Structure 1
Amino acid sequence: MALPKIPDYPLPTEAELPQPRAPFELAPQRAALLVHDMQRYFCAAYGEDAFTRDGSTIAAAAANIARLLEAARGAGVPVFYTAQKGNQFRPDRGLQADLWGPGMQATPEHEEIIPMLAPVEGDIPLVKHRYSAFQRSNLDTLMRARGRDQLIVTGIYAHIGCLATAAEAFQRDIEPFFVADALADFSREKHDMALSWVAGCTGVPMSSDQAITRLALPEKA
């Protein structure tokens, strides 16, 4: 029931992105950025040397998230983080315990966001309870209060919490943008499945370069 050991795989390139059904266009004055579950516990599934190893999937994704963070903060785009708490009360953890076991411990080695992506003053951390970042959080309310109806999704794992978040965003009339090379997953097959599902049903897959270019656009009058 524990997390698998995840082998490296190449992240999707811009040329490999599936064509979206949605006509959504990312706009910095409408967008918020989500860094989803980039905690030490989840990143450890990629190996103890994941951030020093050549060809590391999670290191490549994290580097692109860092670029997006810089672009978002520079553009005045709100930044949200999700992070689970350790030693969860079993009834509160719910059905996730049946699939994934007890989860993380209440220690910095498990709970902490990896240092290269750590929140800064003005960023908004949210406690994660279920797959979707919207469940039992006030993410929707916080976005609406800031006039935001687009969500840029990054982090792990693409086919689980990131996909669930994109699906729920769409159902709340929030346009999802799924940054393919700023996500990581259990395998390239699952990663591609998540991109394909988002493209066909909820939102727009894009590259980090595409997202950064859009975030640099001047605000419309």
Structure 2
Amino acid sequence: MPIPAIAPYPLSSSEPLALLSTPNTAEHWNIDLNRCALLVHDMQNYFIEAYDRNQAPMATVLPNIQALISAADDAEVPVFYSVQPPEQKTARRGLLSDFWGKGMQTTQDAQVVEELTPLPHHHLLTKWRYSAFERTDLRQALAFEGRDQLIITGVYGHMGCQVSAVDAFMNDIQPFLVADGIADFSAEDHQRTLNWVAARCGKVVAANEALNALQARTHEVRL
């Protein structure tokens, strides 16, 4: 069943945190190059086709995620992609079928959008539920890499992105949700997601803040 078209909604790249009306409880958290990893959550054709890529939020979110991936690669920060498989068997898909039907059906549906195509050194997680942690080895992979911070980008904000942030928090991994690096069903859903994460489990940051943190080592070398 295709995702219904999602109407454009404003998402200013200059003031992305304007949507955030709840102060960050974890304001003292800071992204650390030696502790963080980047999650690109479900940026697959099936989900992104619901948006008009030429309008906000996707027109803002796609280039922001591109920039974050590039900066993470330059800083040797691990990049993880969560990707749902097509043609999921009923026993694997479970209760998701009751809410969303059969889901994606083709290899083309399941591919990451061309602008964000994973590179060979990136990590791909086969994802079965809302959270990027559920039924994947993300938790173990982060531990192996010595990472206890996760920068979260992707879709959809109030489902997989928010639930992944909660799961990170529950596993003592600091989640940083990128306000203008996620997209949702509506501006209202987007705002509620940012507010909930800021108040309950993580820190909401602008893409520029995350980008500056990822580029810190480059700036130090130039100095």
TM-score scaled by structure 1?
A: 0.92
Q: Deviation per CA, 1:69-103: give whole Å up to 9, x if none.
A: 11111111000000101110012101111000110
Residue 11 of structure 1 contacts residue 180 of structure 1 at CA under 8 Å; is this kept in 2?
Answer: no
Mapping 1:91-110, distance limit 5 Å: 91-108=91-108, 110=109
CA distance in 2, matches of 1:37, 1:9: 20
SS in 2 for 1:28: coil
TM-score scaled by structure 2?
A: 0.92
Deviation at 1:2, TM superposition (A): 5.2
- The answer to whether the aligner puts 1:30 opposite 2:35 as a matched pair is yes
Residue 155 of structure 1 contacts residue 162 of structure 1 at CA under 8 Å; is this kept in 2?
Answer: yes
* Equivalent residue, structure 1, for 2:140: 141
* Equivalent residue, structure 2, for 1:87: 87
Deviation at 1:214, TM superposition (A): 1.1
Deviation at 1:45, TM superposition (A): 1.1
SS in 1 for 2:49: helix
* Equivalent residue, structure 1, for 2:127: 128
CA distance in 2, matches of 1:157, 1:218: 31
Q: Deviation per CA, 1:164-211: give whole Å up to 9, x if none.
A: 000000000000000010100000000000000000000000110000
Deviation at 1:10, TM superposition (A): 1.2
Aligned length: 214
- The answer to whether the aligner puts 1:66 opposite 2:66 as a matched pair is yes
CA distance in 1, matches of 2:141, 2:17: 34
Residue 2 of structure 1 contacts residue 101 of structure 1 at CA under 8 Å; is this kept in 2?
Answer: no
SS in 2 for 1:189: helix
* Equivalent residue, structure 1, for 2:188: 189
CA distance in 2, matches of 1:15, 1:136: 32
CA distance in 2, matches of 1:41, 1:2: 8
- The answer to whether the aligner puts 1:5 opposite 2:2 as a matched pair is no
CA distance in 2, matches of 1:137, 1:113: 18
| Structure 1 gap segments, 5+ residues each | none
CA distance in 2, matches of 1:210, 1:56: 20
Residue 156 of structure 2 contacts residue 182 of structure 2 at CA under 8 Å; is this kept in 1?
Answer: yes
Q: Once the two structures are aligned, what percentage of the paired residues are identical? A: 43
Which of 20, 23, 28 is matched with 1:19 structurally? 23
CA distance in 2, matches of 1:171, 1:56: 32
Q: Deviation per CA, 1:149-168: give whole Å up to 9, x if none.
A: 00000000000000000000
CA distance in 1, matches of 2:36, 2:76: 10
CA distance in 2, matches of 1:107, 1:72: 27
| Structure 2 gap segments, 5+ residues each | none
Residue 17 of structure 2 contacts residue 206 of structure 2 at CA under 8 Å; is this kept in 1?
Answer: no
Deviation at 1:134, TM superposition (A): 0.2
